[in-house]
């Protein structure tokens, strides 16, 4: 999964999974520009990474609100000026948003969650696509999560946004098919990050007893290692995965290290995609 001489932009890169992705990309030799909203955390992480960098390897950070048009324009302007040709975009920035029954959560918080998780994925994609088309190559990796494949009662904004991110991923993959630009979504699994802390702090009366109980078990037993999702992102960013596109891939459950062996079969099927289940799929003849 060598990423030497590849230039990557990672959003939400100062903590949690984003931090692990940045560290993995740097380890694999990529030049990386990563962003978040906390400038202090960004600079601290950048300084931590530099001693382990290879000669000539570029590690950069910039404050950016991925839902703000000007911030994203400035981010890509920095990528153009200091990295050169962009090869990889990882859209990791995201928030859980408001928790509670959908009719009661504050509307502005619900809307803001959609802005960060969905708009904040689409805006960077737009900028990256124009560059990838000119280059004739590119990789877009969108972080999805459990909200895309299962209902999440009391966390409706996050669930809606993440489902939309997967369908956006599939749609962009079709728009760019044949242009050597791969677009995929990653489900990293249940992670022990600040999002889990938010659920625990919200309590069962806000997020629901079942969801809170699962969160307690996850906190107690440990979640999916961050490195697993980071490794999958490195695979999808590498030459090894060229031609795999339009898929939602689970870091924990799918045999992703060998997916390139099945590339032709994947391209001709709806495996790892969101689809409607009809009666025949369940042995019914209605």
Residues with a catalytic annotation lie at 158
Determine contact, residues 129/86, Cβ cutoff 8 Å: no
Alpha-carbon distance of 67 to 28, in angstroms, equals 29
What are the start-end ranges of the E strands in 76-171? 88-91, 138-143
Alpha-carbon distance of 104 to 101, in angstroms, equals 5
Alpha-carbon distance of 149 to 187, in angstroms, equals 9
- CA angle 275-281-284, nearest 5°? 140
**DSSP code, position 103:** T
CA terminus-to-terminus distance, the chain: 48
């Amino acid at each position: 999964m060598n990423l030497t001489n590849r230039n990557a932009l990672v959003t939400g890169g100062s903590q949690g999974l984003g931090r692990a992705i940045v560290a993995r990309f740097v380890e694999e030799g990529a030049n990386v520009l990563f962003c978040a909203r906390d400038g202090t955390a960004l600079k601290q992480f950048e300084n931590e990474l530099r001693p382990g960098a290879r000669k000539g390897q570029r590690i950069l950070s910039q404050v950016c609100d991925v839902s703000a048009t000007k911030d994203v324009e400035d981010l890509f302007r920095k990528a153009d000026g200091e990295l050169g040709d962009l090869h990889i975009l990882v859209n990791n920035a995201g928030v859980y948003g408001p928790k509670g029954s959908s009719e009661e959560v504050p509307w502005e918080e619900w809307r803001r969650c959609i802005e960060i998780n969905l708009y904040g994925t689409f805006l960077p994609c737009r900028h990256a696509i124009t560059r990838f088309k000119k280059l004739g190559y590119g990789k877009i990796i969108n972080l999805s999560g459990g909200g895309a494949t299962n209902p999440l009662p009391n966390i409706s904004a996050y669930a809606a946004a993440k489902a939309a991110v997967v369908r956006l991923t599939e749609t962009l993959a079709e728009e760019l098919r044949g242009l050597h630009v791969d677009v995929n979504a990653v489900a990293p699994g249940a992670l022990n990050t600040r999002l889990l802390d938010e659920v625990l702090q919200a309590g069962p009366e806000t997020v629901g007893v079942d969801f809170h109980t699962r969160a307690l078990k996850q906190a107690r037993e440990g979640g999916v290692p961050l490195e697993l999702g980071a490794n999958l992102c490195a695979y999808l960013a590498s030459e090894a995965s060229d031609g795999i596109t339009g898929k939602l891939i689970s870091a924990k459950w799918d045999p992703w290290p060998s997916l390139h062996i099945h590339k032709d079969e994947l391209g001709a099927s709806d495996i790892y995609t969101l689809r409607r289940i009809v009666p025949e799929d369940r042995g019914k003849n209605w």
